Amino acid sequence: MELNSKVPAGPLAGKWDKHKFDVKLVNPANKRKYEVIVVGAGLAGASAAATLSELGYRVKCFVYHDSPRRAHSIAAQGGINAAKNYQNDGDSIHRLFYDTIKGGDFRAREANVYRLAQNSVSIIDQAVAQGVPFAREYGGLLSNRSFGGAQVSRTFYARGQTGQQLLLGAYAQLEKEIARGGVEMFNQYEMLDLVVVDGHARGIVARNLVTGAIETYAAHAVLLATGGYGNVFYLSTNAKHSNATAIWRAYKRGAAFGNPCYTQIHPTCIPVSGDHQSKLTLMSESLRNDGRVWVPKKQGDKRAPGQIPEDERDYYLERRYPSFGNLAPRDISSRSAKYVCDEGRGVGDTGLGVYLDFSDAIKRLGKKTIAERYGNLFEMYQRITDEDPYEVPMRIYPAVHYTMGGLWVDYNLMSTVPGCFVLGEANFSDHGANRLGASALMQGLSDGYFVIPYTIGDYLAGLKPQPVDAAAPEFRAAADETRARLQKLLSIKGKRTPTSFHRQLGKIMWDKCGMARNRAGLAEAITEIRALREEFWTNVNVIGEVGSLSQQLEIAARVADFIELGELMCRDALHREESCGGHFREEYQTEDGEALRNDDAFAYVAAWEYAGDQAEPRLHKEPLEYENVKLSTRSYK
């Protein structure tokens, strides 16, 4: 396997324009002769499917949801970045580019990130044209806020529902194209395999989740926009059904997996309340603007927070990061919370939580101001925990939130399987080792609205405008394999539920491949996961049948893939002997416990190639060259 990033030559700022001119175009009359499969209708998938249909391609779009509007993108709260510089505060495309590269701890591809920053501007225009009701000032202009510790106000938002509104905008365009006949929509279809013919992606195997029918679909190109894989950890802020099956199947068909170990752990989530916990809820990061984070100084101090006097409290973020304090970046805040809890100073029944205290802010600003700023968040918190954050400090704990890793793609968003493109959180492309707040929405929409419409043409123009041979034996073989895999799951009839395996996998991953990782732990994790996989395939109890709506079967098939992916993540984390962004290796830290990057040895993308179920995957490296920024060490002291 050869990794060719296809980054165009020339100065950074001109690369994308030049590339747009260099790519081949498909003759307008021929466009409708090309079929494109889009899997996923989150921000990335919906925007791509709608735009490709507008251009004249015939699109088939598959989602496992009962409507494209339910994709996980709907849950994004905070906002979307764009280098509009509407606030006149010094923002620019270059600054957004630089912030993203630096935020990613210098592990992203320069050219991609620059293009992302360029496209960010058009995304806002496009969304407004579609009727996305972004927040406005009284004068009617768009409102912005600063987000995630950024120095400029470049985040556009629609109350706390930015993802929802952007997705509904893209969804509406998709529905428009469905009505026009350009897109054929397949709701409640789950892609279970990628069909590769003569080395090119030529279709998918999908299961109709309502009837259970296993069907194959052929096309000239397949786009995967299937979201992130944070649910490997079982508990995460992702939606319950978010899963890795589509990209994992593509991986097994030859698409390299980029940087699987880069995971983002968000510091402000509501802690686990018990074994029944099914997912974690994110509390907006903005809370840290006014809340103070602390734990008791004494270990195992079980007093109520109000009874712990001031001098027995440890405001550890303020203590360790005096200049950033409670606003220290996500990875640092998360890790610090873990440390204090590991020391036995965590709060709440489980001991896995820290206080986020608003009492000082309430004293200083008044309850009314705090209610105006965070009223809805406080209400949400109270609904879940039954505690009133105006009276007692909130309890928060970090949770898995986002996966920067994903299928490796070149500048055209094409994976190592020609014809298979990957968009949105499913690819590895733009965030390096850590993603900045409000940048995932931007990336998904940039990929779908403004990148793939150009780059797919370059690929399709090289194909003859003739129908894809859907009768090729590869289709039937892939469908048979899928059916056999599902039958196998049903036939085991063991003793444990699929979810119990998922929980166990999550625990291994969280303990050993979570916020802090080390060599011994990762090696153990690999062994444990292998054993878990063994047990899964001999002792899982799946109730249902292939030929009908069977939610347990859906879960089981996803868990099977998560288990394998978990192992790859540990492998990647083990091999990357440095700390960067969301990947923190305990062996590689500075004296005062900060991440220690190793640019000489690890300034590359790790792209893993599948080599067989029992064999170790093959590692390929795409070197990262920085021509426009100087590599530096992040400091938030």
Ligand X SMILES: Cc1cc2nc3c(=O)[nH]c(=O)nc-3n(C[C@H](O)[C@H](O)[C@H](O)COP(=O)(O)OP(=O)(O)OC[C@H]3O[C@@H](n4cnc5c(N)ncnc54)[C@H](O)[C@@H]3O)c2cc1C
- Write phi, then psi, for 582 (nearest 5 degrees): -75, -5
Which residue among 3, 36, 43, 49 contacts ligand X (CB under 6 A)?
43
Question: Reduced to 3 states, what is the DSSP secondary structure of residue 334?
Answer: helix
Under the binding rule (CB under 6 A), the answer on residue 191 touching ligand X is yes
Under the binding rule (CB under 8 A), the answer on residue 66 touching other proteins is yes
Q: With CB cut-offs between 5 and 8 Å by kind, which of other proteins, ligand X, none does residue 161 bind?
A: other proteins
Give the pairing of strands 58-62 and 183-186. Answer: parallel
Looking at beta carbons, which pairs linking 528-535 to residues 24 or more positions away fall under 8 Å? 529/505, 529/563, 529/566, 529/567, 529/570, 530/567, 532/501, 532/504, 532/505, 532/508, 532/563, 533/563, 533/564, 533/567, 535/496, 535/501
Which residue among 114, 134, 428, 588 contacts other proteins (CB under 8 A)?
134
Which residue among 30, 87, 552, 589 contacts other proteins (CB under 8 A)?
552
- H helices of 423-550, where? 440-445, 452-460, 473-492, 498-512, 519-539
Under the binding rule (CB under 8 A), the answer on residue 124 touching other proteins is yes
Please report how close the Cβ of residue 81 comes to ligand X at its closest, in angstroms: 7
Under the binding rule (CB under 6 A), the answer on residue 258 touching ligand X is no
Say how far residue 415 (Cα) sits from the centre of its chain: 17
Under the binding rule (CB under 8 A), the answer on residue 453 touching other proteins is yes
Which residue among 19, 65, 102, 571 contacts other proteins (CB under 8 A)?
65
Stretch that binds ligand X, among 56-64, 86-94, 466-474, 623-631 (CB under 6 A): 56-64
Under the binding rule (CB under 8 A), the answer on residue 277 touching other proteins is yes
Q: With CB cut-offs between 5 and 8 Å by kind, which of ligand X, other proteins, none does residue 173 bind?
A: other proteins
Given the complex with other proteins, which of 124 and 468 has the nearer CB atom? 124
Residue 606 and residue 550 in contact, taking contact as beta carbons nearer than 8 Å? no
The packing angle between helices 498-512 and 519-539, to 10°, is 170
Under the binding rule (CB under 8 A), the answer on residue 350 touching other proteins is no
Under the binding rule (CB under 8 A), the answer on residue 383 touching other proteins is yes
Which residue among 289, 541, 598, 628 contacts other proteins (CB under 8 A)?
541
Q: Which of residues 476-515 bind other proteins (CB under 8 A)?
A: 497, 499-500
Under the binding rule (CB under 6 A), the answer on residue 79 touching ligand X is yes
Rounded CA separation 195/221 (Å): 11
Neighbours of 467 (CB within 10 A): 12
Looking at beta carbons, which pairs linking 615-623 to residues 24 or more positions away fall under 8 Å? 616/571, 617/257, 617/568, 617/571, 618/1, 619/575, 620/1, 620/3, 620/256, 621/3, 622/3, 622/5, 622/109, 622/408
Under the binding rule (CB under 8 A), the answer on residue 21 touching other proteins is no
Which residue among 316, 355, 449, 602 contacts other proteins (CB under 8 A)?
449
Under the binding rule (CB under 6 A), the answer on residue 238 touching ligand X is yes
Please report how close the Cβ of residue 518 comes to other proteins at its closest, in angstroms: 32
- In the block, tokens 């990613």 appear at 104
Which residue among 549, 596, 619, 629 contacts other proteins (CB under 8 A)?
549
Strands in 198-321 per DSSP E:
200-208, 214-218, 221-224, 257-258, 263-269, 292-296, 313-314
Please report how close the Cβ of residue 283 comes to ligand X at its closest, in angstroms: 10
Given the complex with ligand X, which of 357 and 425 has the nearer CB atom? 425
Neighbours of 558 (CB within 10 A): 21
Stretch that binds ligand X, among 194-202, 336-344, 419-427, 564-572 (CB under 6 A): 419-427
Q: With CB cut-offs between 5 and 8 Å by kind, which of other proteins, ligand X, none does residue 227 bind?
A: ligand X
Please report how close the Cβ of residue 124 comes to ligand X at its closest, in angstroms: 13
Q: Which of residues 59-78 bind ligand X (CB under 6 A)?
A: 62-65, 71-73, 75-78
Strands in 240-358 per DSSP E:
257-258, 263-269, 292-296, 313-314, 354-357
Rounded CA separation 144/129 (Å): 18
Question: Please, which residues have CB within 8 angstroms of residue 138's CB and are 6 or more apart in sequence?
Answer: none
Residues acting as catalytic residues: 330
Q: With CB cut-offs between 5 and 8 Å by kind, which of other proteins, ligand X, none does residue 210 bind?
A: other proteins
Question: Reduced to 3 states, what is the DSSP secondary structure of residue 84?
Answer: coil
**x/- site string to other proteins, residues 155 to 184, per CB under 8 A?**
---xx-x--xx--x--xxx-xx-xx-----
Closest to 116 (Cα-Cα) out of 96, 130, 102, 134? 96
Q: With CB cut-offs between 5 and 8 Å by kind, which of other proteins, ligand X, none does residue 140 bind?
A: other proteins
> Which two three-digit tokens encode residue 496?
């444990």
Given the complex with ligand X, which of 79 and 182 has the nearer CB atom? 79
Rounded CA separation 177/173 (Å): 6
Stretch that binds ligand X, among 236-244, 309-317, 504-512, 571-579 (CB under 6 A): 236-244
Q: With CB cut-offs between 5 and 8 Å by kind, which of other proteins, ligand X, none does residue 271 bind?
A: none
Under the binding rule (CB under 6 A), the answer on residue 280 touching ligand X is no
Under the binding rule (CB under 8 A), the answer on residue 547 touching other proteins is no
Please report how close the Cβ of residue 156 comes to other proteins at its closest, in angstroms: 8
Under the binding rule (CB under 8 A), the answer on residue 385 touching other proteins is yes
Q: With CB cut-offs between 5 and 8 Å by kind, which of other proteins, ligand X, none does residue 138 bind?
A: other proteins
Q: What angle do CA 372, 375, 379 make, to 5 degrees?
A: 170
Cα dihedral sign for 610, 535, 229, 491? positive
How far the first Cα of the chain sits from its last, in Å, is 43
Given the complex with other proteins, which of 161 and 598 has the nearer CB atom? 161
Strands in 110-188 per DSSP E:
155-156, 183-186
Under the binding rule (CB under 8 A), the answer on residue 68 touching other proteins is yes
Under the binding rule (CB under 6 A), the answer on residue 428 touching ligand X is no
Given the complex with ligand X, which of 162 and 336 has the nearer CB atom? 162
Question: Reduced to 3 states, what is the DSSP secondary structure of residue 166?
Answer: helix
Total of residues contacting other proteins (CB under 8 A):
78
- Write phi, then psi, for 620 (nearest 5 degrees): -120, 150
Which residue among 147, 321, 411, 450 contacts other proteins (CB under 8 A)?
450
Given the complex with ligand X, which of 40 and 291 has the nearer CB atom? 40
> Which two three-digit tokens encode residue 86?
């509407």
Burial 497-521 (b: 16+ CB within 10 A, else e): bbeebbbbbbebbbebbbbbbbeeb
Closest to 105 (Cα-Cα) out of 571, 602, 619? 602
Q: Which of residues 432-451 bind ligand X (CB under 6 A)?
A: 438-441, 444
Given the complex with other proteins, which of 543 and 611 has the nearer CB atom? 543
Binding site for ligand X (CB under 6 A): 39-45, 62-65, 71-73, 75-80, 162-163, 190-191, 225-228, 237-238, 242, 245-246, 282, 401-402, 424-426, 438-441, 444
